[in-house]
Every structure is written in structure tokens, then in C-alpha cells.
Amino acid sequence: MAIFTGAGVAIVTPMYADGKVNYDKLEELLEFQIANGTDAIIICGTTGESSTLTHGEHLKAIKYAIDVVNKRIPVIAGTGSNATDTAIMLSEEAASYGADGLLLVTPYYNKATQKGLIAHFSTVAKAVPKTPIILYNVASRTGCNIEPATAAALVRDVDNIVAIKEASGNLSQIATLMSLTDGNIDLYSGNDDQILPIMSLGGIGVISVLSNVAPRQTHDITAAYLAGDIKKAAELQIRAIPLIHALFCEVNPIPVKAALNMMGMEVGPLRMPLTEMEDAHKEVLRAVMEAYGIALPSGRYTSYT
């Protein structure tokens, strides 16, 4: 059975003005997501700035999310690393907290071979044999692509590797993967502008940045498709495209944190080397959010420059 179907949010990690993690605000965000129909929480992924969290912060955020959500919807913990031993440590801890699944990104910077990827993912998976694993393919950030044959071999040979978050943007590659696996892999879109195309290839949902600011709307795209209303799903996907583009006009999660702050959510600043969004981009983002129908309280936006 799939870990989840529908729209899972790659949730931001809120911070105080001094850069410390704001766990009280994280609870607010989790409740906001659940109240607005999000189907799963993905904690400490790329959008959660996992690469600049300490191991202590990383694990505390995972446990906090699992405890707050309390099995109402699945919680998937980002536990990938460019060091296999670190990925094992994070994965074992998250599994012990009761994570419903783990998201393992390809090792970044090392640029492992396909043989190395198989060894890495297999070794981590075997350390947590009872916890299902989602591979995360995002070569634009890691410099390392999971080839279709590699993903197919992992799903075939490792029992708890069951899914992949595909953010390569390469629909031909994704189609090849689904062919090689006969569809026997749970496929999630990792790009908000490709929810529908990837679901048309057999995908069962999305791990979404858009869901941070538009959880109900993102859920509705996937729900309409899963219910067989392809026309409605396409209309909702297309309507969201300008906002999706605005949320990626600078590197994620810079725009989505700015968007949440514009909404009065007060999620705080980013960890360096990420910096505050450019003013010109903020103006575009604000206009697009208003056109999409997102309420933006006046006078409540805090700048962290």
C-alpha cells in the first residue's frame, strides 16, 4: 500500500529572526496544512532547509512533526545525506520516532556512479527494513541523476524501497522508469508544474512546494485526477502555473518563505547562504498570489534583510 496518495507538502522550517528553529510556529503550520486537506507532511526536505540544519535540529524537527501530527496523516522524514553513515543515522532515528516513510535524496557533491547509488540506497534501506523509502531524484540540485534502470533495480531488489519523487523534469525518463518497472513503483511528482503530466504516467501524487501556500488547491488538483475528472484537474493545474513560476523565480525555498511571510504566517528568515528575496521578485510574487486569490494582510510582511 502506498505511503500516501494526493498532495504532500514539502514543509518549510520556520525560524525566529535570530535563525533558531521556531517549533511553535512549526506546529501552527502543521495544523494549517492538516485543516486544509494536505495528504502528507514531508519534513526536513529541500524546502525545509535540511542542508543547513544541525543534526540535532534535523532530528528534533522530525520528532516534533511526528508527535504533533499524531498519525492524522502520514509524516515522511527527509533523511538523505551525501554521507551514507549519516543517512543511516538519520534514518534509524526517524524510524524509531515512528516516521511513516523516509525520503532519501541522491548523495550531493560526491556525484556517485549508478553502482554507487545502488550501494548507498541499499545500505540505508537495509538499516531500516520496516520503514518504506521514497527515492528523491533532483539532479539539478545534487549533480547526480538516478537512471531509470537504477531505480528499477532498487525497487526490484530492496523490499522497502517503494517509491520515487521525480524532480528531474524529464518526462521521457519518467516514462522509461514506469515501463521498466511495469508501473510497480509509487511515483510522485517533485515539480508542481508537472503534477498532471506525471500522474498521467502512473503517478499517485505530488510532493509539493506550492502546498505551503495553497494546500487545498494543490490537494484538489490531485483529488480531481484520482477521481477521474481529468478536465478539472487540468484546469486547476493550469490556473496554478503563474504562482508556481513565481515560487521558483529564485532558488527554493527563498520565494515560498517570502510568500508565507506575506500571508502573515511569520515563518522567519532563511539560513545562509540563502538570502532574502529580491524586492522586484517580491512585487511579482505578491501580485501573482493576489491574482490567485490568496489573502495577503496589509502591513504584516516582515523583511529579514
305 pLDDT above the threshold of 80: no
248 pLDDT above the threshold of 90: yes
Residue 130 placed within a domain: yes
Q: How many helices (H) and strands (E) does the chain have?
A: 12, 8
Residue 259 placed within a domain: no
Look at residues 227, 222, 217, 221 and name the one whose alpha carbon lies nearest to residue 293: 217
Confidence of residue 277 (pLDDT cuts 50, 70, 90): very high
Gyration radius of the chain over CA positions: 18
Q: Which of 25, 63, 165, 257 is catalytic?
A: 165
Spatial CB neighbours of 294, under 8 Å, sequence gap ≥ 6: 213, 214, 259, 263
pLDDT score at 301: 64
Specify whether the CB–CB gap between 41 and 1 falls below 8 A: no
pLDDT digits (tens, 9 = 90+) for 56-114: 999 999 999 999 999 999 999 999 999 999 999 999 999 999 999 999 999 999 999 99
Specify whether the CB–CB gap between 75 and 66 falls below 8 A: yes
Catalytic residue at 64?
Answer: no
- The string over 29-48, giving b where at least 16 C-beta atoms fall within 10 Å of a residue's C-beta and e elsewhere, is bbebbbeebbbbbbbbbbbb
pLDDT digits (tens, 9 = 90+) for 136-191: 999 999 999 999 999 999 999 999 999 999 999 999 999 999 999 999 999 999 99
**Amino acid (one-letter) located at 93:** E
Q: How far is CA 186 from CA 46, 63, 246, 297, in A?
A: 20, 25, 28, 39
How many residues belong to the chain? 305
Over residues 279-305, mean pLDDT: 87
3-state secondary structure of 162: strand
Residue 86 placed within a domain: yes
Q: Which of 64, 136, 188, 225 is catalytic?
A: 136
- Strand ranges, E, within the chain: 6-10, 40-43, 75-78, 101-105, 133-137, 161-166, 186-189, 205-208
Range of the domain at 78: 6-237
Residue 216 placed within a domain: yes
Domains contained in the chain, number: 1
Task: Map grid coordinates 527515492 to a residue.
Answer: 135
Nearest 5°: CA angle at 128, between 122 and 130? 110
Q: Check residue 15 and report its DSSP letter.
A: B
Residue 295 placed within a domain: no
Task: Map grid coordinates 511528482 to a residue.
Answer: 189
Number of Cβ within 10 Å of residue 272's Cβ equals 8
Q: How far apart are CA 270 and CA 47, in angstroms?
A: 11
Full 3-state SS string of 211-272: HHCCHHHHHHHHHHHHCCCHHHHHHHHHHHHHHHHHHCCCCCCHHHHHHHHHCCCCCCCCCC
Residue 80 placed within a domain: yes
Q: How far apart are CA 241 and CA 11, in angstroms?
A: 20
Residue 195 placed within a domain: yes
Residue 301 placed within a domain: no
Number of Cβ within 10 Å of residue 55's Cβ equals 12
Number of Cβ within 10 Å of residue 18's Cβ equals 7
Catalytic residue at 130?
Answer: no
Over residues 7-28, mean pLDDT: 98
CATH of the domain at 78: 3.20.20.70
**Amino acid (one-letter) located at 284:** V
